[in-house]
C-alpha cells in the first residue's frame, strides 16, 4: 500500500484512490468491449450468412449485400475502437468511440437480421454494458446514434429497421423513447456507483491514514514492540526492539521470542505463552533477553493474544521495555540496603530507630537486645520512654522536640532495672517512607567509672608529686644552711695555713660541698619547674652574646682539660631569641660543660648556630668525645640517670640535661641530640626567634626626638642595673637623645648597690633578674640604705604579673616598665620622675597602670 506523504491531505488521497478505481473500471470495460466487438463482428457475419447468404435476380444468384455489409461494415465499425482500446485504454475518447461503434453495430445487426424486433434488444443490452463504465456521459452519443439511425432509416429504409416496408414516423420516436427511458435508470445507476466509489475511496484513504499512524506508532515507539505469529516466530518487530536485542527485523522474523530469551528464563516464558493461549488474554513479566552479542538485557514484557471475531487466536502482540538500568539501580539499592542492614544489625553498639511522634521503637539491632535484655518483640511494642528513669522523662521530651544533632548523655534503664550511663547520637532519617530517628548508643558506664578512678588517681599522683617536689624544695633549702657553714668554714680554714694533709682533706670537704650545692640547686630548679613555681624573665636575648659569654666562662675548664673550644657562629649580633637570659646561659653552659667533661684530653668542642627558618634559632654543640650508645639515648633526659657515667671518674649529678630540657621547654624551645657515636656527640638547643629590642624600637626614633625638643636640658645621672648587654645597649642608645643624661651601668646587683652608694644617681633603672641578687632584694637594700633610699627606682622587667608589680611598688619602686620597652613611655616616665623629684619629692605611683601591664602579658 502506498504511504500518505507527510503533507498529503486524506481528501486528496481519497480523490486519487477514486481516480485509480475509475481508471481501472474504464480500462477493464474497454477490454471487455474490445472482446465483445470482435465477437459481435464474427456473429454479425455468421448471422448474415445464415439468414440470407444470396440474393436472387431470376435464376442468378449472388452473395447477399448483407454478407458484404457484415464483413466490411462490421469490420470497419469494430476494428477502429478495438485498436483504440489498445492505444488509449481508459481514455474518454476511447469510451465515446466505443459507445458510438457499439450502437452502429446494433444498427448493423438489426439491418442484417432484416429489422427483427428481437435484434433491437442488442441496443438495450449494449446500453447496459456501456453503463459498466459508470460514466453516464457515454450514454449520450450512444443514444444520439440510436435515435438518428432509427429516424433516418425509419424514413428511408424502414424495412432495415422495423422489417416492414412502411413505418410510421412515430415508431422511431417510440423506439428512441424506450432508449431514453432505459438511459434514465442507467444514468441513476451510474451516479450511485460513482457515489459509492467515492465513499469507498474516502474510507480507504482514512483507513490508510489510520494504518499509517499505527505503523508509525509501532515503529517509532520508545519501547520494543513485536507481532508474533501463532507459529511463535516474530512477524514484525519495531526498531526499538531490534536495537534492544541487537538483531535486525529480518533476523528476528527467523526467530521466536524463546530463541532470544535467557536460558534461565526459557521455561517460565514458555509456560506463560501456553497459559495465554489457554485462558489469559495478556500477562506481564520481567525476564532476561540475550542480545545477539551475548549480553543480557532485562525487559518488562507485556504480551497480549489477539483473537479474531470468532475468538480464534490470530497472533500475539508483545511490548518489551528495557529495564536493565532500572534493574541495576534496583540491585544497587538492594546491595546498599543489605550493607546498611548489616551495619545496623551487626553494629557492636546498640542502634535503634524510633518514631519521633509516637516515640515507639521501629527497629532495634542485636546489640541493643543483648545490652538491654529486652527481646526484639518487646522492644517493638515499647517506646523510648520505657527505657528511661522516670525523673529523666521531661528532659527527654524536650530533647526529642529539639532534635539536637549533638551527642548527649543520658541514663537508660535495662530490663533488669540496672541504670546505665549512655552517650546518644541521634540523626533524622526516613524509615519506610516516614520520618524517624536513628539512634546510636554508647554505654559509657564503665568509662565513667574509669574516668572517675583516673581523675582520683591523677589527683593522688599530682598531690604525691607536689608533696615530693615540696619535700625536695624544703630539703634543699634546709640543706643549704648547713652547707653554707661547711663551705664557709672550710674556706676559712683553707686561709689559715693548714698543713698539706689538712689542705688535702679541706679540698675534699669543699669540693664535696660544692658538688652537693650544685646538686641541691638543680634539684630545687627541677622541683620548681614541676610545681610551676619557676619564674622566667622572657625577653629578647642576643644569641651571639650569650654564646660568647658562656664560652668565656668555659675557657678555664677547657684549658685545664686541654680541650679546644671552637666558636663557629654564623649569626650577626641582631639575631635574638625569646628566652630568659640566665636560664639560656645555664642550659648552654651545661651542654658545653658536658662536652668538655666527657671529651678525652686533647679533644675539641665546637659551638655553632644558625637560624632554622624564620621562627627559630638552633645552637649546636659538637664534641669529639666517646658519644652515647644508641640504646641509652632515650634515657638521656631522665633525672639522676647518668647512663653509666657514674662508673667513670667524671663528676656529675645526672640532673644537668634533665633540668636543661625542662628549662628550654618552659621557654618554648627544645633540646636534643642530633647524632651521637664513636666520633662524638652533637647536641642542639632551639629557641623561638624574636626581633632585637633595637629593631623593635627603631621606627619610633624620629618621633621621640621631636617630642623632646621642648624639654629644658639639665644634667642628670642615671644608674642602670642590668645584666643583659642588649638591654644595656638599647637604653644607652635611647639616652643618646638626651645628652644631658649621664648613664652609669652595672651588670650585677651588688655592683649596682655599690655604684648607687658611690654616685647617688638621680634615678636608678633596675632589672629584676640579676645573676647574683634578685631585683627586689636590690631594691629593698637601696631603700634600706640612707644614702640611696631617696633615689627614685624604675623597675624594667619582662616579668609583669600584677602580683610582681604590686610587690615591687610596695617595696618602694617609683615606676614599673615592661620589656620590650616602649620608648615614648620610657621618656614619659623618665620626665615625670624627674619633675616629681624636682618639685614635690613624693614618689609617684607607677605611670604604667596595672591593667595595662596585665593586658601586655
Among 90, 513, 652, 792, binds ligand ADP (CB under 6 A): 652
- The yes or no reply on residue 595 touching ligand ADP (CB under 6 A) is yes
Here the cell at position 194 is 460513482
- The yes or no reply on residue 645 touching ligand ADP (CB under 6 A) is yes
Rounded Cα distance, 369 and 350, in Å: 8
Q: Which residues pair with 741 in a beta bridge?
A: 716
Helix segments in 316-389, DSSP class H: 324-345, 366-372, 376-380
Residue (599 or 804) nearer to ligand ADP, CB: 599
CB of 657 to ligand ADP, least distance (A): 3
- The yes or no reply on residue 594 touching ligand ADP (CB under 6 A) is yes
Rounded Cα distance, 55 and 63, in Å: 6
Residue (48 or 685) nearer to ligand ADP, CB: 685
x/- contact string, 678-697, with ligand ADP (CB under 6 A)?
Answer: ---x----------------
- The yes or no reply on residue 586 touching ligand ADP (CB under 6 A) is no
The span of 352-360, 463-471, 558-566, 648-656 binding ligand ADP (CB under 6 A) equals: 648-656
DSSP state of 699: G
CB of 676 to ligand ADP, least distance (A): 7
Here the cell at position 188 is 441513476
Among 234, 298, 372, 598, binds ligand ADP (CB under 6 A): 598
Burial 221-233 (b: 16+ CB within 10 A, else e): eebbbbbbeeeee
CB of 854 to ligand ADP, least distance (A): 37
Residue (322 or 623) nearer to ligand ADP, CB: 623
Work out the end-to-end distance of the chain between its first and last CA atoms, rounded to an integer number of angstroms.
Answer: 102
In the bound state, the residue with its beta carbon closest to ligand ADP is 652
- The yes or no reply on residue 603 touching ligand ADP (CB under 6 A) is no
CB of 688 to ligand ADP, least distance (A): 24
Q: Is 687 exposed, middle or buried (0-12, 13-18, 19+ CB in 10 A)?
A: buried
CB of 595 to ligand ADP, least distance (A): 5
258-264: long-range contacts, CB 8 A cutoff, minimum separation 24: 258/232, 260/289, 260/290, 260/291, 261/287, 261/288, 261/289, 261/290, 262/287, 262/288, 262/289, 262/290, 262/296, 263/290, 264/288
Q: Give which of 90, 94, 116, 93 is closest to 37, Cα–Cα.
A: 94
Give me the phi and psi of 632, to 5 degrees please: -95, -15
Among 657, 743, 746, 834, binds ligand ADP (CB under 6 A): 657
In angstroms, the Cα distances linking 387 to 367, 441, 540 are 15, 12, 63
DSSP 608-664: EEEEETTTEEEEEEEE-S----GGGGGGTTSTT--TTGGGSS----S-HHHHHHHHH
- The yes or no reply on residue 227 touching ligand ADP (CB under 6 A) is no
Among 186, 636, 800, 834, binds ligand ADP (CB under 6 A): 636
CB of 369 to ligand ADP, least distance (A): 60
Q: Distance of alpha carbon 796 from its chain centroid, rounded?
A: 58
Q: Three-state DSSP class for 348?
A: coil
Residue (147 or 669) nearer to ligand ADP, CB: 669
CB of 532 to ligand ADP, least distance (A): 22
- The yes or no reply on residue 517 touching ligand ADP (CB under 6 A) is no
Number of residues that bind ligand ADP (CB under 6 A): 20
Here the cell at position 783 is 631603700
Residue (47 or 526) nearer to ligand ADP, CB: 526
CB of 622 to ligand ADP, least distance (A): 9
- The yes or no reply on residue 643 touching ligand ADP (CB under 6 A) is yes
Rounded Cα distance, 683 and 194, in Å: 123
The span of 117-125, 411-419, 592-600, 688-696 binding ligand ADP (CB under 6 A) equals: 592-600
Sheet order of strands, 361-364 included: 361-364, 351-354, 434-443, 419-431, 408-413
Question: Is residue 434 left, alpha or beta, with left meaning phi > 0 and alpha meaning psi from -120 to 50?
Answer: beta
Q: How many CB atoms lie within 10 A of CB 58?
A: 5
- The yes or no reply on residue 653 touching ligand ADP (CB under 6 A) is yes
Residue (19 or 632) nearer to ligand ADP, CB: 632
Among 513, 656, 693, 761, binds ligand ADP (CB under 6 A): 656
Residue (121 or 640) nearer to ligand ADP, CB: 640
CB of 526 to ligand ADP, least distance (A): 11
CB of 515 to ligand ADP, least distance (A): 10
In angstroms, the Cα distances linking 508 to 85, 497, 499, 518 are 160, 16, 14, 15
Beta carbons of 375 and 350 less than 8 angstroms apart: no
> What SS3 string covers 447-471?
HHHHHHHHHHHHHHHHHHHHHHHHH
x/- contact string, 275-314, with ligand ADP (CB under 6 A)?
Answer: ----------------------------------------
- The yes or no reply on residue 522 touching ligand ADP (CB under 6 A) is no
Residue (21 or 604) nearer to ligand ADP, CB: 604
Rounded Cα distance, 299 and 327, in Å: 9
Q: Give which of 71, 75, 76, 161 is closest to 122, Cα–Cα.
A: 161
CB of 627 to ligand ADP, least distance (A): 6
The span of 32-40, 623-631, 728-736, 842-850 binding ligand ADP (CB under 6 A) equals: 623-631
Residue (360 or 658) nearer to ligand ADP, CB: 658
The span of 170-178, 296-304, 465-473, 655-663 binding ligand ADP (CB under 6 A) equals: 655-663
Beta carbons of 143 and 179 less than 8 angstroms apart: yes
Q: Give which of 511, 514, 513, 507 is closest to 493, Cα–Cα.
A: 507
- The yes or no reply on residue 625 touching ligand ADP (CB under 6 A) is yes
Residue (655 or 721) nearer to ligand ADP, CB: 655
* Extended beta strands in 747-792, E state: 763-766
Residue (416 or 678) nearer to ligand ADP, CB: 678
CB of 480 to ligand ADP, least distance (A): 20
Length of the chain: 857
Residue (476 or 681) nearer to ligand ADP, CB: 681
Give me the phi and psi of 33, to 5 degrees please: -65, -35
CB of 467 to ligand ADP, least distance (A): 24
CB of 650 to ligand ADP, least distance (A): 7
CB of 514 to ligand ADP, least distance (A): 13
- The yes or no reply on residue 147 touching ligand ADP (CB under 6 A) is no
CB of 564 to ligand ADP, least distance (A): 15
Among 89, 163, 246, 654, binds ligand ADP (CB under 6 A): 654
The span of 348-356, 588-596, 693-701, 824-832 binding ligand ADP (CB under 6 A) equals: 588-596
The span of 68-76, 215-223, 508-516, 589-597 binding ligand ADP (CB under 6 A) equals: 589-597
Residue (485 or 566) nearer to ligand ADP, CB: 566
Q: Three-state DSSP class for 579?
A: strand
Q: Give which of 725, 784, 724 is closest to 757, Cα–Cα.
A: 784
Beta carbons of 619 and 589 less than 8 angstroms apart: no
Residue (637 or 776) nearer to ligand ADP, CB: 637
Strands 604-612, 564-569: pairing kind: parallel
Rounded Cα distance, 626 and 681, in Å: 8
Binding site for ligand ADP (CB under 6 A): 590, 594-595, 598, 623, 625-626, 628, 636, 642-643, 645, 652-658, 681
Amino acid at each position: 500500500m502506498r504511504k500518505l506523504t507527510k503533507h498529503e491531505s486524506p481528501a486528496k488521497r481519497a480523490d486519487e484512490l477514486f481516480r485509480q478505481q475509475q481508471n481501472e473500471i474504464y480500462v477493464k470495460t474497454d477490454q471487455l468491449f474490445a472482446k465483445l466487438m470482435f465477437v459481435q463482428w464474427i456473429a454479425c457475419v455468421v448471422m448474415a450468412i445464415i439468414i440470407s447468404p444470396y440474393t436472387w435476380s431470376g435464376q442468378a444468384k449472388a452473395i447477399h449485400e448483407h454478407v458484404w455489409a457484415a464483413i466490411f461494415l462490421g469490420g470497419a465499425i469494430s476494428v477502429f475502437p478495438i485498436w483504440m482500446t489498445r492505444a488509449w485504454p481508459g481514455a474518454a475518447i476511447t469510451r465515446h468511440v466505443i459507445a458510438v461503434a457499439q450502437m452502429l453495430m446494433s444498427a448493423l445487426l438489426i439491418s442484417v437480421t432484416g429489422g427483427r424486433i428481437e435484434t433491437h434488444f442488442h441496443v438495450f443490452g449494449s446500453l447496459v454494458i456501456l453503463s459498466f463504465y459508470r460514466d453516464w456521459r457515454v450514454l449520450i452519443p450512444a443514444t444520439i446514434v440510436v435515435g438518428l439511425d432509427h429516424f433516418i432509416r425509419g424514413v428511408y429504409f424502414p424495412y432495415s429497421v422495423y422489417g416492414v416496408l412502411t413505418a410510421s414516423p412515430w415508431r422511431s420516436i417510440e423506439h428512441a423513447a424506450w432508449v431514453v427511458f432505459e438511459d434514465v435508470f442507467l444514468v441513476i445507476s451510474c451516479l450511485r456507483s460513482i457515489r459509492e466509489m467515492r465513499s469507498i475511496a474516502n474510507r480507504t484513504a482514512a483507513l490508510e491514514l489510520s494504518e499509517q499512524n499505527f505503523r508509525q506508532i509501532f515503529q517509532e515507539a520508545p519501547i520494543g514492540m513485536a507481532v508474533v505469529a501463532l507459529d511463535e516466530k516474530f512477524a514484525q518487530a519495531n526498531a526499538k526492539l531490534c536495537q534492544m536485542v541487537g538483531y535486525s527485523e529480518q533476523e528476528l522474523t527467523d526467530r521466536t521470542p524463546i530463541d532470544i530469551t535467557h536460558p534461565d528464563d526459557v521455561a517460565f516464558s514458555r509456560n506463560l505463552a501456553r497459559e495465554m493461549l489457554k485462558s489469559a488474554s495478556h500477562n506481564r513479566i520481567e525476564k532476561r533477553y540475550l542480545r545477539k552479542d551475548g549480553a543480557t538485557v532485562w525487559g518488562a514484557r507485556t504480551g497480549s493474544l489477539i483473537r479474531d471475531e470468532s475468538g480464534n487466536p490470530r497472533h500475539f502482540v508483545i511490548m518489551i521495555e528495557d529495564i536493565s538500568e532500572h534493574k541495576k539501580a534496583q540491585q544497587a539499592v538492594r546491595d546498599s540496603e543489605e550493607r546498611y542492614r548489616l551495619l545496623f544489625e551487626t553494629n557492636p553498639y546498640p542502634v535503634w530507630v524510633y518514631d519521633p511522634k509516637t516515640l515507639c521503637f521501629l527497629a532495634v539491632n542485636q546489640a541493643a537486645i543483648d545490652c538491654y535484655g529486652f527481646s526484639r518483640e518487646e522492644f517493638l511494642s515499647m517506646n523510648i520512654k520505657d527505657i528511661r528513669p522516670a525523673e529523666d522523662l521531661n528532659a527527654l521530651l524536650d530533647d526529642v522536640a529539639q532534635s539536637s544533632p549533638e551527642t548527649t548523655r543520658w541514663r537508660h534503664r535495662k530490663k533488669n532495672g540496672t541504670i546505665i550511663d549512655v552517650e546518644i547520637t541521634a540523626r533524622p532519617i526516613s524509615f519506610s517512607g516516614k520520618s524517624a530517628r536513628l539512634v546510636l548508643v554508647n554505654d559509657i558506664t564503665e568509662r565513667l567509672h574509669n574516668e572517675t578512678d583516673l581523675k582520683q588517681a591523677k589527683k593522688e599522683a599530682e598531690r604525691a608529686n607536689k608533696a615530693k617536689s615540696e619535700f625536695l624544695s624544703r630539703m634543699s633549702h634546709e640543706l643549704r644552711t648547713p652547707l653554707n657553714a661547711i663551705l664557709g668554714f672550710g674556706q676559712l680554714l683553707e686561709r689559715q695555713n693548714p698543713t698539706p694533709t689538712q689542705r688535702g682533706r679541706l679540698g675534699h670537704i669543699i669540693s664535696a660541698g660544692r658538688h652537693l650545692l650544685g646538686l641541691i640547686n638543680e634539684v630545687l630548679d627541677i622541683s620548681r619547674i614541676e610545681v610551676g613555681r619557676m619564674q622566667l624573665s622572657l625577653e629578647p636575648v642576643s644569641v651571639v652574646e650569650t654564646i660568647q659569654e658562656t664560652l668565656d666562662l668555659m675557657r678555664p675548664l677547657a684549658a685545664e682539660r686541654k680541650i679546644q673550644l671552637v666558636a663557629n657562629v654564623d649569626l650577626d649580633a641582631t639575631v635574638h631569641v625569646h628566652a630568659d637570659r640566665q636560664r639560656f646561659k645555664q642550659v648552654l653552659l651545661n651542654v658545653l660543660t658536658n662536652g668538655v667533661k666527657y671529651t678525652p684530653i686533647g679533644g675539641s668542642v665546637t659551638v655553632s648556630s644558625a637560624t632554622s627558618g624564620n621562627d627559630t634559632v638552633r645552637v649546636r654543640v659538637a664534641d669529639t668525645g666517646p658519644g652515647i650508645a644508641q640504646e641509652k639515648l632515650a634515657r638521656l633526659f631522665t633525672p639522676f640517670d647518668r647512663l653509666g657515667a657514674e662508673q667513670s671518674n667524671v663528676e656529675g649529678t645526672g640532673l644537668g640535661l634533665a633540668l636543661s630540657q625542662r628549662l628550654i621547654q618552659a621557654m618554648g624551645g627544645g633540646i636534643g641530640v642530633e647524632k651521637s657515636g664513636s666520633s662524638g656527640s652533637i647536641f642542639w638547643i632551639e629557641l623561638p626567634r624574636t626581633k632585637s629590642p633595637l629593631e623593635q624600637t627603631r621606627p619610633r626614633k624620629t618621633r621621640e626626638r621631636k617630642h623632646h625638643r621642648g624639654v629644658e636640658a639639665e644634667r642628670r645621672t642615671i644608674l642602670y642595673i642590668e645584666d643583659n648587654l642588649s638591654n644595656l645597649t638599647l637604653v644607652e642608645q635611647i639616652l643618646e637623645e638626651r645628652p644631658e643624661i649621664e648613664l652609669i651601668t652595672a651588670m650585677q646587683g651588688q655592683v649596682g648597690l655599690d655604684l648607687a652608694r658611690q654616685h647617688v644617681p638621680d634615678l636608678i633603672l633596675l632589672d629584676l633578674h640579676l645573676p647574683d641578687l634578685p631585683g627586689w632584694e636590690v631594691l629593698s637594700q637601696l631603700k634600706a640604705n640612707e644614702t640611696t633610699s631617696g633615689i627614685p627606682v624604675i623597675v624594667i622587667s619582662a616579668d609583669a604579673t600584677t602580683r610582681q608589680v604590686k610587690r615591687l611598688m610596695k617595696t618602694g619602686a617609683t615606676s614599673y616598665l615592661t620589656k620590650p620597652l616602649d620608648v615614648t613611655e620610657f621618656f614619659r616616665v623618665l620626665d615625670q620622675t624627674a619633675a616629681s623629684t624636682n618639685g614635690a619629692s613624693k614618689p609617684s605611683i607607677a605611670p604604667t597602670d596595672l591593667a595595662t601591664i596585665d593586658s601586655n602579658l
